[in-house]
């Protein structure tokens, strides 16, 4: 089984058991099958995939830490006919780049974000990430992540699924053939949505980091199943097409009308128009 045309011949530089290689392949296969590779411009983050511009066989930009959605926005606005994706890890996307992530999603940028969540900073050697689990031991949470001190992990796709600009927010994993196939379907759908102008899409891939988790590749996949997936359940958190809308504009209009109707109903029933807060008072 050779490499897809969407990847270069350069061997991956990732650690044994790292799932970046699988996800790179899924992205490249999806673009190839949709015949989009020649139109695609990718944006890579700061993190282990910082050199991924050497692996994807299309035009690529390397972005400052966390800024990939802004860079992708600039590319897409300048060249709306191109397909643009941002490939980011959890520190990049959910810590330093949270503002860029949320606002690109809120604007409904016609881009596809591939979000690798392995609950750790890999490249810098295993520090606590915004998605590190409670009690997870890392170099900078040596006694286990204590939510009293370090707060709680971000569930990114759940958070983004509340935004009107989001067409598709889905979490997948790549721990075995069945889930890899499901991940491929999600990634391909995200690029189809971009091609068809449906809206912003984000596919979170729950991933491993055997090196910094201190586990063998197989044990890392077990740890992922036992600890990551219960906290970060795979699933479709928003899909405007599945909800019966053509695109984010239609979905947003429908939600607005629904909220307005609720507000009118509440007002006529003498209830506060805003949800929550009323009962306790």
Residues in touch with another protein (CB under 8 A): 8, 37-41, 43, 50-51, 53, 56-64, 67, 70-79, 82-83, 99-100, 102-103
Closer to another protein by Cβ: residue 79 or 275: 79
Least separation in angstroms between CB 204 and another protein:
21
Phi, psi of 10 (to 5 degrees): -65, 130
CB neighbour burial string for 212-224, b if at least 16 within 10 angstroms, e if fewer: bbebeeeebbebb
Nearer of residues 107 and 171 to another protein, judged by Cβ: 107
Give the CA angle between residues 163, 166, 167 to the nearest 5°: 140
Is the Cβ of residue 62 or residue 250 nearer to another protein in the bound state?
Answer: 62
Query: Considering the complex, what minimum distance in angstroms separates the CB of residue 58 from another protein?
Result: 5
CA proximity to 112, closest of 57, 177, 173, 36:
36
Which of 80/278 has CB closer to another protein? 80
Tell me the C-alpha distance between 140 and 154, whole Å.
Answer: 18
Smallest distance from another protein to CB 279, Å: 35
CB of 79 to another protein, least distance (A): 5
3-state secondary structure of 267: helix
**45: Cβ contacts below 8 Å, ≥ 6 apart:** 63, 65, 66, 68, 86, 87, 88, 89, 92, 93, 97
Residue ranges of E strands in the chain? 40-44, 59-62, 83-89, 112-117, 166-173, 200-206, 235-239
Residue 34 or 263 having the CB closest to another protein: 34
User: Least separation, in Å, of the C-beta of 265 and another protein?
Assistant: 34
Contact 123, 47 (CB under 8 A): yes
Is the CA virtual torsion 69, 70, 71, 73 positive or negative?
A: positive
Closest approach, Cβ 146 to another protein, in A, equals: 30
Task: Name the residue nearer to another protein (CB basis): 156 or 241.
Answer: 156
Round to whole Å and give the CA distance between 137 and 145. Answer: 6
For the CB of residue 37, give the shortest distance to another protein in the complex, in Å: 7
Cβ nearer to another protein, comparing 81 with 279: 81
């Amino acid at each position: 089984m050779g490499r897809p045309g969407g990847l270069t011949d350069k061997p991956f530089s990732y650690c044994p058991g790292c799932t970046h290689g699988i996800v790179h392949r899924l992205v490249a296969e999806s673009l190839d099958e949709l015949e989009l590779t020649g139109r695609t411009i990718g944006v890579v983050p700061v993190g282990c995939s910082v050199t991924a511009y050497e692996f994807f066989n299309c035009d690529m930009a390397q972005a400052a830490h966390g800024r990939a959605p802004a860079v992708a926005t600039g590319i897409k606005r300048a060249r709306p006919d191109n397909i643009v994706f941002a490939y980011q890890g959890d520190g990049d996307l959910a810590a330093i780049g949270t503002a860029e992530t949320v606002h690109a999603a809120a604007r409904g940028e016609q881009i596809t974000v591939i979000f690798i969540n392995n609950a750790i900073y890999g490249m810098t050697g295993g520090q606590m990430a915004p998605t590190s689990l409670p009690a997870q031991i890392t170099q900078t949470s040596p006694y286990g992540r204590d939510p009293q001190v370090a707060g709680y992990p971000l569930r990114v796709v759940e958070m983004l699924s509340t935004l009107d600009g989001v067409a598709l927010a889905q979490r997948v994993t790549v721990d075995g053939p069945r889930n890899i196939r499901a991940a491929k379907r999600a990634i391909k759908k995200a690029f189809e949505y971009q091609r068809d102008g449906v809206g912003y899409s984000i596919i979170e891939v729950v991933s491993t980091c055997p090196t910094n988790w201190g586990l063998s590749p197989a044990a890392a996949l077990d740890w992922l199943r036992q600890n990551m997936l219960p906290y970060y359940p795979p699933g479709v958190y928003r899909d405007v097409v599945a909800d019966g809308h053509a695109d984010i504009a239609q979905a947003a209009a429908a939600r607005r009308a629904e909220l307005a109707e609720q507000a009118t109903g509440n007002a006529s029933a003498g209830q506060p128009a805003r949800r929550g807060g009323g009962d306790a008072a």
